[in-house]
């Protein structure tokens, strides 16, 4: 089984080469703030049991994660975006999403610092 690739190092390196470290750090900080908003909105969709909001919020976060190179988060959102799982199961998916997001952000920060 292949190892899960958490971040897109080639994409991030391209950003570094073209935009510089300051801008890339600003991008990551903006993503961290925005992903917190997205996660809250996804949780709200579950509490309201709104499939439409679930899909819309997951879709937004999927795009944001992809644009900053968080491959594992993007891929997980691809998998769950259209999920019609029962709402309690979606709560579990959110917990996994939060964990994946935190892990990817940490790896991004470690890679930038190296």
pLDDT at 4: 66
CA–CA gap between residue 81 and residue 57 (Å, rounded): 8
Span 56-80, pLDDT tens digits: 999 999 999 999 999 999 999 999 9
Cβ atoms 43, 94 nearer than 8 A: yes
pLDDT at 5: 81
Cβ atoms 11, 74 nearer than 8 A: no
Q: For the chain, what percent of residues have pLDDT higher than 70?
A: 96
Q: What is the largest CA-CA distance in the chain?
A: 44
Q: Is the pLDDT of residue 3 over 80?
A: no
Domains of the chain: 9-113 (1.20.120.160)
């Amino acid at each position: 089984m292949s190892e899960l690739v958490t971040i897109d190092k080639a994409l991030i390196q391209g950003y570094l080469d073209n935009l510089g470290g300051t801008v890339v750090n600003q991008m990551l900080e903006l993503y961290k703030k925005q992903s917190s908003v997205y996660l809250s909105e996804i949780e709200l969709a579950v509490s309201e049991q709104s499939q439409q909001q679930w899909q819309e919020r997951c879709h937004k976060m999927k795009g944001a994660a992809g644009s900053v190179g968080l491959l594992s988060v993007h891929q997980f959102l691809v998998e769950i975006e259209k999920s019609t799982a029962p709402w309690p199961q979606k709560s579990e998916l959110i917990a996994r999403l939060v964990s994946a997001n935190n892990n990817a952000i940490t790896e991004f920060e470690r890679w930038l610092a190296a």
